[in-house]
Chains A and B, each alone.
Chain A
Amino acid sequence: MHVDGLRWRPLSRREPTIEGLDLAIPPGQRVLLAGASGSGKSTVLRALAGLLDPEDGDGEGLVPAPSRPGERGLLLQNPVHALVGATVARDAAFGPENAGLPRPELTERAARALEAARVDLDPERAPLDASGGQQQRIALAGALALRPDLLLLDEPTSMLDAPTAEGVRRAILAVTGRRTLVVAEHRIGPWLPHVDRLIVLGPRARVLADGHPDQLFSHRREVLIEAGVLEEEAAAEEAPGPVGPSETVAALRGVTVPARGLTAPQDLELRAGRLTALTGPSGAGKTSLLRVLVGATEPGAGAVSRPEPSQIALVPQDPEHSFVATTVREEVLASPWATDEDLADELLQRAGLAPLAGAHPHRLSGGEQRRLAIVAALAQRPDLLVLDEPTVGLDARRRREVLELLREATARGTAVLAASHDELLVAAADARHDLPAPAPGAVPTPAPRRVPADALNPLTLSLIGILAAIGSFAVQSWQGGLLALAPTVLLAPLAVRSLRGAALRLLPILLSAAGLAWTTALLGEAPALSGEAWLVGLKEAARITAFVAPGVLALASVRPTPLGDALGQRLHLPGRPVAASVIALVRVGHLGRQWAAILEARTRRGLGGPRSPRVLAGATLALLVDTLRGAEQQALAMDSRGFATATRRTWAAPSPVGPADLLGVGIAAGLLVWPLLAEMLVGAA
C-alpha cells in the first residue's frame, strides 16, 4: 500500500486538505495516524480506501478503487452511519450481497464475521436500537464479512465511554491478525502498545513525525506536544475551592424512569453556580433523567422541582438540531428569551466565536458548533443549564474549550448539569452523580402475534390491495357499496393482530370516509344536505372504504426488508435503488427519534409549539440537514462494502411464494370482481 504525492482539494474548499503526501505501508503493519481535528486524518483514510471521488474535488496521485468489493474495510467514527440492515444478521450480509455471493456462502460469512467481531446479540435484533459499543462491533463485522486485507479505522472509539471503548478496541485487535491496520485517533494512549508505527499529521496532512512510537516518544516529544497529540501533563484541573452554600435551583426526589431501565430512585440537587456531572454506564438512563429534569417526560415515580421553562436551557447531544438562524450571531439571539445583545457579543467573544459571528452555524466545525449551542443557551440567562454529552467526539483542546464555557456559566450563577463520560469534565465538576448500571435484559419487547396474512409474499399482499382498489370503482349505489364491503369484513380477522391495532389502522379510514360522505352531501350535484345527497354521500363512504380498507389491512403484514427482497428477486427491479430504498425505510425509527429531538430542542428554546408552521418548516430543514450530512458518511460506509459496483447483487433472504399465495391471489381476484357482482345482485333485487 503506498501513495506518492497525494494532493486533494474538495471543490467546496479553496485550500487543499492534503498537500503532497507520500506514504508506504508494508503488508501486516499496524499504523496509528494521529493529529489534531482538522489535520486531514479522515481524508487520508478515505484516500487509502480508494474512495475519494474525482467528481468531488481536484486530486493528484489518487489511490485506485479496490480491485474487489470490500478489499479495504473502513470503519467510521459514528457507527450509526455504517448500519444498513433491519436486523443484525442482515446488516452483516450487506457486503457479501453487494459482492454477488451465493446465499449459502453469504450466510456463513455473515455469521462468522459477527462471531469474530464479538457481537453477542440476537441476530434478529435491530442494529439501530443497539448500544453504541455494539453498533461499532456490528459495523466491524460488516467490514470483516468481505475479508479485507486492510482495515482502515476512523476514530472508531471516540464516541464511546472508556470501558466500552476498551471492549471495541479488543475486538478490533483480535480480528486484525496479519491484516494491515491503519487507525486514525486523537486519543492515542490506548492504541500505542498495539501498533508498530506512529504517524503524526499536521495541517493539510503534512507528516510531522513518523516512526516507532517508542522512538518518537523519546526523541520527538516536543513535536507530539506541539501537534496536540500528546497532552502536556495536564495540570490537574483546579478543583474549585470550597464554595459557600448556594441556593437550590432544581431537584429530583426519588425519581425513577422504569421504561428506560432506571428503577433505583434518584435524588439530585442542583445548586446555583455549581457544575454537576451525571455519569453512569451507557444505557443507564442519563438522557432519560435529563428529559425528566427539564420536563420533557414524566417520571415513573418521584417529584421534580425546576425553574420556569424560560429559565431552563437544554443543549442536546447533536447541537445542530437546535440551530435555526443563518448566522452565528443571529443564532445566539434567536430565542425570544435571549434579549441582551451586549451579553450575546460578550459571550461570543469569550467562546472565541466572535470572528465567526457572520458565518453559517451549520458550516462551523464540530467543536465550534458545540460552543455556539452553549453560548446560545447562556444568552437566555438561564438559572439551569442542562447538557447531554457536551464533549463527546472532541479532541483534548476542544474539550477544554467547552469546559471553559461551562465554567463561564457557573461563574454567572447558573446551575449546570452535564451528562458525560468524559473524565476531564467529571474531574472538573463540583459534584458528581452516578447512575447504577441498568438491570440486565431489561424491557424485552414481546414478539407481535403472527397472523395468517404474514404467510403471504409481500407482492401477494400488494396485489390484494391493488385489485381491491380497482374493483371498488364498480360501486354505483349505496346498497351495492355496503354489500361490496362484506368480504373485507369477513377476511379482516386473517390480517388483524389485535383489536387495538386494528382500531388504530381502521379509525382514520372511517373518519376519512365520514368526511367524504359529508363533503359529498354538502358539495355534490344534489341539493346540499338533502336526503338524496346524503345517500350519495353514503355510497361514496362505502366506495372509498372498499377502495382502501383491504389494502391497509394487508399492508400491516408488509415489512420493508421482505418487500425489497421481493422487488429485487421476483420483479427483478434494479438492485441498487431497491436496496437503497430499503435502507432508507429501515431508518424510519431513527429518523422519527431525530425529528422528536429537533422539535423538542426548538420548543425548549421558546421558538413555538409543534403546531406552529414556522417550527415545522424549521424542523423539516434541520432533519434534512442532519439526514443529508449523514448520507455522505453512509454512502462512504456503503461503498467500502462494495455498494458502488453492486449492479448484480444477491439477496441474503429468499422471497418465498407458496400455496398460501395461491389462495391470496384468489382473494385478490375475488375482491376485484365482487363489487361488480354486488351491484348486479342489488340491481336484480
Chain B
Amino acid sequence: MTRYRTVDLLVTVLIGAAFGVAFLGYGQLYTLIGPLTAAFKPAEGLLAGIWFLPAVLAALLVRKPGAALLAEMVAAVLSMLLGSQWGWGTAVSGLMQGGGVELAFLLTRYRRFTLPVAVLGGVLSALLEWGWEKVAYYQEMSWAFSGTMLAFFLLSGALLCGVLGWAASRALIATGAVDSLASGREAARAVEA
C-alpha cells in the first residue's frame, strides 16, 4: 500500500512538473479577470483552486501517502526556479496547498478517494493557503475584506480543486493513461465486474 513503485513515484513528480509548465499558461486567466481584481483584490481568490490541482490529482491517481504533497512541491519548486515573483513564498504555498489535500486523504487513512474527500482537500488547502497569504502578503488588508477573500478561497478550493480535480481524474482514467496505477486498476476491475 505505502510502497512506491517507480511508476508511482514518476507519475507523482511528473504531474507536478506538467502543472508547473501549464501554470505558466494559466497566467492568461488572471488577465481575463484583471479589471475585476484591480478594483477588488479578494476576487482573485476565485482562481485560487487551480493551483492546488497537482496535489489533488496526484492523490486521486496514485493513492499513496505523500503523493499530494510531493506533486505540489515539485510544481512549486519548478515555478520558483523559473522565477516566480513570489520567490520562496511559492515553496511555502506549495507546502500549504499540498499539505491541505494530503491532510484530507490522511483523515480517511488513505482509504477513500472520492469526490467529497477531494472537495475537503480543496477546502483545507484553501484555508491553509489563505492563512499563509494573509500573514505574508495581506497583513494590512482589513479583516472585512480578508474575510471576503477567505470565502472566495474556500469556494474556489471546493470547486476548482475538488470538483474539477475529481472530474479531471475521471477523464484521465477513461483515457487508459493510468491503467498501471491503483486508480486505473480499480476502474479496470469495475469494468470487468
A: which residues have CB within 8 A of B? 10-12, 14, 53, 55-56, 326, 360, 362-363, 462, 465-466, 469, 504-505, 508-509, 511-512, 516, 518-520, 522-525, 536-537, 539-540, 544, 547-552, 555-556, 558, 560, 576-577, 580-581, 583-585, 587-588, 591-592, 595, 599, 610-611, 613, 616-617, 619-621, 623-625, 627-632, 634-635, 638-639, 643-644
Contact = CB atoms under 8 A, between A and B. Distances in A.
Contacts of B39: 522
Interface stretch (B79-87, B115-123, B151-159): B79-87
Given A552-B87, A628-B11, A540 B139 contact: yes
Given A10-B179, A53-B5, A360-B174, A588 B21 contact: yes
Given A363-B176, A595-B21, A621-B171, A585 B26 contact: no
Interface string B14-33: 11111111101110110110
Contacts of A508: 83-85
A616 B28 contact: yes
Contact of A583 (B7, B10, B22, B192): B10
B22 A620 contact: yes
DSSP majority for the B interface?
A: helix
A12 B16 contact: no
Contact of B41 (A360, A523, A610): A523
Contacts of B179: 10-12
B7 A632 contact: yes
A539 B139 CA distance: 11
A85 to B, nearest CB: 15
A523 B137 CA distance: 13
A524 B142 contact: yes
Contact of A639 (B6, B11, B139): B6
Contacts of B17: 584-585, 587-588, 591, 627
A558 B32 CA distance: 33
A577 B21 contact: no
A469 B87 contact: yes
A466 B88 contact: yes
B59 interface: no
B178 interface: yes
A560 B143 CA distance: 40
B184 to A, nearest CB: 7
B107 interface: no
A378 B6 CA distance: 41
A14 B193 CA distance: 11
B175 A625 contact: yes
B104 interface: no
A-B pairs with the 3 shortest C-beta distances? A548-B87, A362-B175, A508-B85
Interface string B56-89: 0100010000000010001001101111111111
A632 B185 CA distance: 14
Contacts of B140: 520, 524-525, 536-537, 539-540
5 contacts: A56-B185, A540-B139, A552-B83, A635-B7, A643-B6
A623 B22 contact: yes
A556 B6 contact: no
A577 B9 contact: yes
Nearest to A540: B140
Contact of B10 (A465, A552, A617, A635): A635
Contact of B137 (A544, A549, A558, A616): A544
Given A465-B87, A524-B141, A583-B13, A576 B4 contact: yes
B163 interface: no
Contact of A595 (B15, B22, B184): B22
B21 A592 contact: yes
B81 A547 contact: no
Contacts of A512: 85-86
A623 B177 CA distance: 11
B186 to A, nearest CB: 9
B188 interface: yes
B9 A585 contact: no
A555 B87 contact: yes
A519 B83 CA distance: 23
In this complex, the member of A504, A518, A631 whose beta carbon has the largest number of chain B beta carbons within 10 angstroms is: A631
A469 B177 contact: no
